[in-house]
Amino acid sequence: MAFGIALPEAKAQDAAVQINLPAQPLGQALLQLGRETSLQIFYPQQLVQGLQAPAVSGHLTPEQALRQLLQGTGINYSWQGDSVILSRLASGEISQLAPVTVIGSLPGALPPPYAGGQVATGGQVGMLGNRDVMDTPFSQTSYTNKTIQDQQARTVQDVLNNDPSVVASTSSGTPHDYQVIRGFGGYGTDGTRTLNGLAGMAPLFFPSSDYIERVEILKGPSALLNGMTLASAAVTGAIGGSVNLVTKRATNEPITQLTTRYVSKSQIGTHLDVGRRFGASKEFGIRFNGSIDGGHTPVDGQRSKLGAAALNLDYAGERVRLSADFAHQSQTLDPNGVYIQARSVAGSLSSFPSAPNSTVSLVPSGSEYKTKSTMGMVRGEVDIREDVTAYAAIGKQTSETDLNGYEKVRLLDGTGRYSIAREIQHYSRDILSMQGGIRAKANTGPVNHALSLNLSRSELTYKRAESEGSASVIDSLYNPVFPLLPSVADPGDPRKSSQTRASSIGFADTLSILDERIQFMAGIRYQEAGIKDFNLTTGLQSSKYDSHAWTPAFGLVVKPWENVSLYANYIEDLRAGTTVGTTYANAGEVLPPYVSKQHEAGVKADWGQVTTTLAVFQIAKAASISIDDPAGGAPTLAQNGEERNRGIELNAYGQLMPGVRLLGGLTLLDARLTKTEGGTLDGKRNDTAPKARAVIGAEWDTPFMEGLTLIGRLTHTADSVVSTSSGVTIPSWTTVDLGARYTFSSPWNKKPVTVRFNVDNVFDKNYWAGTYASGFVYRGQPRTFRLSATFAF
């Protein structure tokens, strides 16, 4: 019997599914196995001619089923990434098909993909570590690299758009990386994303998905699980949910893949992915991903350039596991995407102006927006005992943003008149983040315990320099004609604006009885946060705010049947007081800290090939309300009352039938203000939160052409309030995305080649995609063509 160790890159072949294959010709059996498990198997047709396969049935992994089909045929197999290559054994060669490989699950190993391969069976739940979705008392979805590749997702934002609880901006539609989760919005710079579980290490601006293995979305506040997030603006994204990005690591089998790609209008790029393992037991691994894309986007006159390079090194010993990640990413847009600032006129509008053509640039060329991020982090785990693991991680990231042009346009009236003013902005962010902890298991009679202790600390230094010229009026959003616009003086190098620190210590115990049929999680985290603001002219500290709180969390999982989990949770989250932004009259003021609270209950059912989840939730937090100036001046931002979001989520993913995969769901949301001063705003809808959002995606492996898969996705988002006080809304919108992929064996090296073609927004709908930050609106993506070819070597 041969023994092996599962390294942190679990593959699709590790997921056991129900398989029922009748006795039949081997070629037909392999075809049926591929359709039922999404396994890609490559072989010359003559290899299987005249061979019969036995009946195979049971709860098996695809690899176990494949072994049974090939037993005694003299055919061997090998892995090329996630694909299988069949070949004839040489004369006298000893078959390696009979031995059974026993897989050991190391702490931190990725949960395997679920049936269909698009979503994993679990993911990282902060300090609790990786957990199966059926054992998690929270709502979580982990999208796999298969989804990233097949959808040709260039950034993490593209992946997030699969989730009905998330509305994510696009890199060409807005200058900021922004997402709304469960009705609460946040920038990518606010710490709502983690990289391999470490806060602040994910690239701050539209992270490239080329070096990402998993995109894990955890819904709701996550203070106990992830610690406190860093924020330098009025953001609340971590309250609605958080996103953990898992980097690619070297797999047991060598990987060498080259992808060439095209995105309309004329963006051309390439992506190289190389991974190897070394050592007697393949304990050393190296994985490199590098990509560059550039050219004209679908927006008239706009050019884009996006580059990324990432290196992962890892060591997987018997008791010690180490990894190091280094990444650099840069992006340039000219002219940049803009958002519409409508706060000042929203109250006077009976309806919001219709969206202009999505391909029309609302600012002139010569408006350049540049971002770049550089990151390095190291993580280690040590098995002190068989049931005790200690871990630690530390990382640092620096990022810079430079704008010489136009960031926003100010809507002037309901006809579509707007104004623009040239701006020069320089921002920099330096983040240092670290964490450590222990996970242990213990038994006290009939009760099993999974104990977690976590300490974390993060520091953010934020620098900025800004200048803005006088405004010029443009007659129409729909046919903009740009006059000669005045220049503006460069404000110089960015100067320290604020320093934010957050530290915490958390403890949790998950108690289970009856073979984990009943699990109860209880935990608490002590958090401290401090913000210092500095005068940009003098450099002296202008204000300071410190806060601390104990934030508890409770979770319950009950499994009345093996494939059904009932769950509930209560969790709190401390947020440092918001530093008021420059668009408000009280800019620089630090608002009081606040604690958000979530109540959630739901049911998860694994039907064998399809998993469905149903959740109901309520999240409440202190409301930040924009108060208009009667004299027409800048508004004031103040805390007033409570934002209360109540919702229902229904999600489904998996393999509906052989060759048909499903991914999507529905979210219904009631987001209201309550407890406002004098009750004047009670019952008003919150901005950023659409009433409903549905995403329905499907894939079909065609029976008439082997290797061809057709893809479709429908997205519907209901209307959203532009400004809470005004109540004016942007209309609902629906888009359709279509695509296809074809995989065949390369004629020169017999390895797989996959060609993918996707069309986003097939009918080229013009629409307002979303709102954020009370009074800001951004457009949707125009019709976009994506074409790529991936070659294995």
Tens digit of each residue's pLDDT (9 = 90 or more) over 191-244: 578 999 998 898 888 899 999 999 999 998 888 888 766 654 334 446 889 899
The residues near 90 (Cβ < 8 Å, ≥ 6 apart) are: none
Q: Taking all residues of the chain, what is their mean pLDDT, rounded to a whole number?
A: 86
Q: What is the pLDDT at residue 237?
A: 46
Q: What is the pLDDT at residue 108?
A: 46
Q: In this model, does residue 669 exceed pLDDT 90? A: yes
Q: What is the pLDDT at residue 769?
A: 92
Q: What is the pLDDT at residue 629?
A: 66
Half-sphere exposure of 369 (CA within 13 A, CB side): 25
pTM for this entry: 0.85
Q: Between 717 and 531, whose confidence is greater?
A: 717
Average pLDDT over residues 607-624: 91
Average pLDDT over residues 325-329: 97
DSSP assigned state of 588: T
Average pLDDT over residues 287-308: 94
Q: What radius of gyration do the chain's Cα atoms show?
A: 26
Contact 667, 654 (CB under 8 A): no
Q: What is the pLDDT at residue 668?
A: 97
CA separation (Å) from 285 to 84, 310, 783? 21, 14, 40
Q: What is the pLDDT at residue 578?
A: 65
Give the strand pairing for 166-168 and 418-444.
unpaired
Rounded to the nearest angstrom, the gap between the alpha carbon of residue 322 and the centroid of all alpha carbons in its chain is: 24
Interatomic CA distance for residues 98 and 6, integer angstroms: 19
Q: Judge residue 653's burial from the number of C-beta atoms within 10 Å of its C-beta, 0-12 exposed, 13-18 middle, 19 or more buried.
A: buried
By mean pLDDT, which of 33-47, 58-72, 694-708 is the weakest? Answer: 33-47
CA separation (Å) from 465 to 418, 424, 468, 634? 25, 8, 11, 20
Q: In this model, does residue 590 exceed pLDDT 70? A: no
Q: What is the pLDDT at residue 660?
A: 93
**SS3 category, 683:** coil
Interatomic CA distance for residues 617 and 600, integer angstroms: 4
Percentage of residues in the chain having pLDDT higher than 90: 53
SS (H, E, C) 439-484: EEEEEECCEEEEEEEEEEEEEEEEEEEEEEEEEEEECCCCCCCCCC
Interatomic CA distance for residues 106 and 439, integer angstroms: 13
Q: List the beta strands (DSSP E) in 635-705.
A: 636-657, 660-674, 692-701
Set out the domains of the chain in order of their start, with CATH numbers: 3-105 (3.55.50.30), 242-792 (2.40.170.20)
Tens-place pLDDT, residues 349-370:
888 999 999 999 999 988 889 9
Burial code of 415-428, b = ≥16 C-beta within 10 A, e = fewer? ebbbebbbbbbbbb
Tokens representing residue 43 in the block? 């072989």
By mean pLDDT, which of 173-177, 440-444, 639-643 is the weakest? Answer: 173-177
The residues near 643 (Cβ < 8 Å, ≥ 6 apart) are: 184, 620, 621, 622, 623, 671, 672, 673, 686
Interatomic CA distance for residues 645 and 37, integer angstroms: 39
Amino acid at 250: A
Interatomic CA distance for residues 210 and 660, integer angstroms: 26
Rounded to the nearest angstrom, the gap between the alpha carbon of residue 595 and the centroid of all alpha carbons in its chain is: 24
By mean pLDDT, which of 385-394, 410-419, 588-597, 701-710 is the weakest? Answer: 588-597
Q: In this model, does residue 46 exceed pLDDT 70? A: yes
State the DSSP H helix or E strand holding residue 68, giving kind and residue range, or none if neither.
helix 62-70
Average pLDDT over residues 463-477: 91
Q: What is the pLDDT at residue 107?
A: 38
**SS3 category, 145:** helix
Closest CA to 182 of 668, 551, 771: 668
Q: What is the pLDDT at residue 94?
A: 40
DSSP H helical segments within 83-211, as ranges? 145-150, 156-160
Q: In this model, does residue 118 exceed pLDDT 90? A: yes
Give the model's confidence band at 103: pLDDT under 50 very low, under 70 low, under 90 confident, else very high.
Answer: very low
**SS3 category, 157:** helix
Q: What is the pLDDT at residue 82?
A: 66
Contact 284, 322 (CB under 8 A): no
Interatomic CA distance for residues 227 and 502, integer angstroms: 8
Tens-place pLDDT, residues 733-770:
999 999 999 999 888 888 889 999 999 999 999 999 98
Tens-place pLDDT, residues 303-324:
999 999 999 999 998 899 999 9
The residues near 684 (Cβ < 8 Å, ≥ 6 apart) are: 672, 673, 721, 724, 725, 727
Interatomic CA distance for residues 409 and 407, integer angstroms: 7
Interatomic CA distance for residues 151 and 142, integer angstroms: 15
Contact 408, 362 (CB under 8 A): no
Closest CA to 215 of 262, 174, 163: 163
Interatomic CA distance for residues 417 and 415, integer angstroms: 6
Peptide bond before 335: cis, by omega within 30 degrees of 0?
Answer: yes
Q: Between 278 and 169, whose confidence is greater?
A: 278
Q: For 44, phi and psi rounded to 5 degrees?
A: -70, 140
Percentage of residues in the chain having pLDDT higher than 70: 89
Average pLDDT over residues 63-85: 81
Average pLDDT over residues 330-358: 88
Question: Please, what is the Cα angle at 770 between 718 and 166, to 5 degrees?
Answer: 75
Half-sphere exposure of 489 (CA within 13 A, CB side): 2
Bridge partners of 383? 389
Q: For 322, phi and psi rounded to 5 degrees?
A: -130, 150
Mind giving me the DSSP string for 506-525?
A: EEEEEEEETTTTEEEEEEEE
Q: What is the pLDDT at residue 681?
A: 81
By mean pLDDT, which of 14-18, 482-486, 749-753 is the weakest? Answer: 14-18
